[in-house]
Structure formats: structure tokens, C-alpha cells
């Protein structure tokens, strides 16, 4: 089996990480590519009461089980298949469902804290930070949460001001300095995505 290229894609909530990820994956057509979302790795909270689970700050690094994510990536690099957990937001803990992943040429790890953990960063061949202005990020989050998650505008704004914004400034924005490339304006930046894809393709061919 050829070596595995690991790509990290980070950025704030609503920055356009998913759009960038999807376009890079589309451009890598012909290679075997897997996407592992960091959100799969929210910690299991089954030992807590439902009321205690409601207090979870999902915008803090401590909410993630990075040890399991790192172990899964090590196994995939070693040519082993893994079972990745999934999270049920309705009960605020892991669900019984798991997703089977097979080793691939390229594994993309996407999440707001993809570049926050040093051990995880050190496993990455390419580190990307999607940098988008705060006003665009809050507007995207507002549209998403009111349309897709049945939230009120007031609750989204309150959460953004009290939790999302301070956590972004404290934990996410500082990880920009670890990025090999910063992509402004997310998925609309075709030139940056094309350059990034060319770099990833060269890495994959070198490791074959």
C-alpha cells in the first residue's frame, strides 16, 4: 500500500471549510480520498445526565476526543481499517452508529480545531486554514441554524456572542499561524484551491 497523505482543514464556524474540502476532493478525482470530520469525535457523554450534557461547550477543544482521532489516523496510515464514531446532537452524546473507513491515498481531516492539537498537526502533510471575515461567518451560521436546526435568530446570536466568538478568538484564530496555506473567503477562492490541489496531487504522486 502506498503512503497516506493527511490534509488538515481548519477555520472558524461558517468560514467555508466544507466548501473548500468538497472542491479539493472533487479535484482529486482518480485518487482514493476519505473525509474524516472532527465533529465525529465529540466526546462520549453517556455517563452524564441529559441536563449535564446540555452544558457542553462544543466550541472548546476539550469537547473533542483527539486521542481516538489520532489513533484512528495512525491505524489508517498503517493500512488498517477503522470504525469512526458518530454523534447524536438530539441526545448530546455518541450514537450507536459507527462509520467504517478503509485506508486511502488521501485523508482529509476537517474541523474548527483541526490545527489546534500539536500531535494531530504533526501527522499532517498539508495544513490549511480557511480565513473568512467574522460578519460572513455569523451570517452563514445564522442561516444554517435557523433553517436546518430549527433555532431562533435570537438564540443563534446569543450563542455566537457568548460562546462562539470568544472561543474562536481564544482557540481557533491562533491556529492560523500553523497553516501552510491560508485560503481567504473559503470556497469562492478558486485560485487558492487550484494551487492547493496541485500541491496535494504532487504529494500523493511522490508517496506512491
Cα 106 to Cα 187: distance, rounded to the nearest angstrom? 20
| Residue 26 marked as a ligand binder | no
Phi, psi (deg, nearest 5) at residue 42: -60, 140
Cα 205 to Cα 208: distance, rounded to the nearest angstrom? 5
| Residue 18 marked as a ligand binder | yes
Neighbours of 88 (CB within 10 A): 12
CB distance 3 to 104 below 8 Å: no
| Residue 79 marked as a ligand binder | no
| Residue 111 marked as a ligand binder | no
Angle subtended at Cα 142 by Cα 136 and Cα 144, rounded to the nearest 5 degrees:
100
Annotated binding site: 11-18
- Per the annotation, binding residues for ATP are 11-18
Amino acid at each position: 500500500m502506498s503512503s497516506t497523505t493527511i490534509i488538515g482543514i481548519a477555520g472558524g464556524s461558517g468560514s467555508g471549510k466544507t466548501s473548500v474540502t468538497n472542491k479539493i476532493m472533487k479535484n482529486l478525482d482518480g485518487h482514493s480520498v476519505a473525509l474524516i470530520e472532527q465533529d465525529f469525535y465529540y466526546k462520549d457523554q453517556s455517563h452524564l445526565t441529559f441536563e449535564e450534557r446540555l452544558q457542553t461547550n462544543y466550541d472548546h477543544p476539550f469537547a473533542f476526543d483527539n486521542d481516538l482521532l489520532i489513533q484512528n489516523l495512525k491505524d489508517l496510515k498503517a493500512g488498517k481499517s477503522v470504525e469512526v464514531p458518530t454523534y447524536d446532537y438530539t441526545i448530546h452524546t455518541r450514537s450507536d452508529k459507527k462509520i467504517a473507513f478503509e485506508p486511502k491515498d488521501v485523508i482529509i481531516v476537517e474541523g474548527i480545531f483541526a490545527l489546534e492539537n500539536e500531535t494531530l498537526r504533526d501527522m499532517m502533510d498539508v495544513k490549511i486554514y480557511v480565513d473568512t471575515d467574522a460578519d460572513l461567518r455569523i451570517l452563514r451560521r445564522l442561516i444554517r441554524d435557523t433553517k436546518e436546526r430549527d433555532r431562533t435568530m435570537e438564540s443563534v446570536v446569543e450563542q455566537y456572542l457568548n460562546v462562539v466568538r470568544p472561543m474562536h478568538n481564544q482557540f481557533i484564530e491562533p491556529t492560523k499561524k500553523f497553516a501552510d496555506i491560508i485560503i481567504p473567503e473559503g470556497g469562492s477562492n478558486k485560485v487558492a484551491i487550484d494551487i492547493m490541489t496541485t500541491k496535494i496531487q504532487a504529494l500523493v504522486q511522490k508517496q506512491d
